[in-house]
Structure 1
Amino acid sequence: MRLEEQSTAVRDAVPVEYADLVVFVTELGGTTALMLLLAVLFWCVDRRRSALVISYAIAGLALLLSLKALFGLPRPPADATLIALEGEREGYGFPSGHAFAATVVYGGLVSAYDRLGDRRAVTGAGVLIAAVSLSRVALGVHYLGDVLVGVALGIAFVAVMERVTRGDPTIGFAIALVLAVPATVVAGTDDSLLGLGGSIGGVLASRRLPALPALRSRLEAVVLVGLGGGFVALVMAVESVVATVEPLLVVLYAALLAGIFLVPAVVGRLEIDGLESRRA
């Protein structure tokens, strides 16, 4: 079922000299890279659509953690690993979280931004999903069957979320909260706390999306990314301090999502347009 022999063929096709490239590709499906991408799109492109996909990502994280704990299938043996990576041997191996997350985010963006009819957008998302998925097999932390199931689940999940949320991010975060509670009980990991805190922050802050000021200029976009990125970095620094106190982590993750959503309201109070005019 997990296609062990085919997985060996994929691993054997990737020399260890390409390990750094494989690690870079696999990070494109990691939590940090995906959330930063969605945050930048939220600040600079389309707030409602990006918030909707963020809700997909948080809800999907909670669902996947529950599924992993339910199946309880191990990762490939340690001698199959291409290189030693911190944290990559932890947790269960089925289905693949990176393959699922890449599908939910990249596929969700294509869907939420109404680009399903755009061949280039669909192809680009498909290439990214395939690359992330195969990188997990090449690294030896998943079997080929794990990533195929992860992709299939991601496609089905996006289709269901699109229908149920009807384009409303608050509904998406409410679903995430419902899924995050059992995930926290069953999985009990930092990722499950991220799902719980993120869904709470999303439910509270997404209600203010219609009141957020529109993006006024490219300079304001730069300020948003700078200020928002600084806020995210601050939260990550605080995370290392309170890592052992689970209730504080939930509060911190809720503040992280709420802060990402409310940064435009803070920047909207600044006289960015006047500054840009003076520079001109």
Structure 2
Amino acid sequence: MSRGIGETELLAGLPEAATAVAGLVTQLGDMWFVVVAVCALFVLAWRDRSLTDAPARDCVYLLALTVGAYSLTVALKHAFGLPRPPGAATATPPAWVPAVGHAAYESMVTGDGYGFPSGHALKTTAVYGAGALVLDAWDRDRRLVVAAAVSVLVAASRVVLGVHYVVDVVAGAAVGALFLAVAVRLTDQRPARALALSTALGALAVGVAGTTKSVLALSAAAVGLVVWVGSDRVRSARADVTEG
């Protein structure tokens, strides 16, 4: 039984340009883009403290939530085991896309694996929302509006591409918002706590899915936790020596 509401049929007649634009927009929620964006934020914030007065702390916190959101998505997808819309894993590049770009185009506009909930919707809601809370640029209301707009655009792009049903992205956004609220409450925006939370979620994902990527996510969170706690102790020891 399909969980769609007719969106697949409604969007079937969209022009190729709409699919291409949706493929570009959806990159804002891809794992590679979010990680690169947070790393770029660290470099920019190190030079311009108006973005955040604690670049390392805030960027590690955002990376921890990124990994945690990914692990939560993997666990939920495998727990529900619901498929994507028909044809989600295949695409025919338009004539104006050169042959050398076919693989990249197909990667941008297709999706594989289970479909519920949408990982892109979950991740963008959680991570962009967290960015709106911890950063200092502009005012908080404006940051929240931008984060919400990006999340909506990414969620809509997944439906336009035909790789998710509407219910998938709505559920993903809802879970992402819940994950963010719980993370803020439990971690108090502290990287060590966020990494511990992500490690726990990584262990859950490994237990439920057992995939190579879930093992990598668990490893990244666990190693990050050890490194951050260790560096914290080194900084504390140096501060004690300086004060002494």
Q: If the TM-score is normalised by the length of the shorter chain, which range does it land in?
A: 0.7 to 0.9
Q: Distance in 2 between matches of 1:8 and 1:201?
A: 42
Q: Encode CA deviations 1:51-102: one digit per residue, 9 max, x unaligned.
A: 1121111111111111111111000011796657349442100000011111
- Partner of 1:201 in structure 2? 223
Q: Distance in 1 between matches of 2:145 and 2:56?
A: 24
- Partner of 2:30 in structure 1? 30
Cα pair 1:68 1:92 within 8 Å, conserved: yes
Query: What TM-score comes out, normalization by structure 1 length?
Result: 0.68
Which sits farther off after the overlay, 175-184 or 42-51? 42-51
Matches within 5 A, 1:203-242: 203-207=225-229, 208=231
Gaps of at least 5 residues in structure 2 are 46-54, 94-105, 236-244
Residue 129 and residue 83 in structure 1: after superposition, are their counterparts in 2 closer, same or farther (change >3 A)?
A: farther
Which sits farther off after the overlay, 77-86 or 95-104? 77-86
1:170 aligns with 2:199: no
Q: Encode CA deviations 1:167-225: one digit per residue, 9 max, x unaligned.
A: 2111111111111123123223343123112102210222226878xxxxxxxxxxxxx
Matches within 5 A, 1:63-212: 63-78=72-87, 83=92, 85-86=106-107, 88-113=110-135, 118-207=140-229, 208=231
Residue 60 and residue 8 in structure 1: after superposition, are their counterparts in 2 closer, same or farther (change >3 A)?
A: same
**Deviation of 1:41 (Å):** 1.7
Q: Distance in 1 between matches of 2:137 and 2:180?
A: 14
- Partner of 2:67 in structure 1? 58
**Greater relative contact order (Cα 8 A, min sep 6): structure 1 or 2?**
2
**Deviation of 1:9 (Å):** 6.3
Which sits farther off after the overlay, 126-135 or 107-116? 107-116
Q: Distance in 1 between matches of 2:202 and 2:89?
A: 32
Gaps of at least 5 residues in structure 1 are 213-280
Q: Distance in 1 between matches of 2:178 and 2:125?
A: 10
Cα pair 1:99 1:147 within 8 Å, conserved: yes
Cα pair 1:108 1:158 within 8 Å, conserved: yes
Residue 28 and residue 210 in structure 1: after superposition, are their counterparts in 2 closer, same or farther (change >3 A)?
A: farther
Aligned length: 212
- Partner of 1:20 in structure 2? 20
Q: Distance in 2 between matches of 1:91 and 1:75?
A: 7
Identity among equivalent positions (%) equals 33
Cα pair 2:195 2:225 within 8 Å, conserved: yes
Q: Distance in 2 between matches of 1:168 and 1:75?
A: 36
AA matched with 1:148: V
Q: Encode CA deviations 1:89-139: one digit per residue, 9 max, x unaligned.
A: 421000000111111111110122268963321221111111110110011
AA matched with 2:179: F
Aligned CA RMSD, in angstroms, stands at 2.7
Structure 1 residue ranges, 4+ long, deviating more than 4 angstroms after superposition: 79-84, 114-117, 209-212
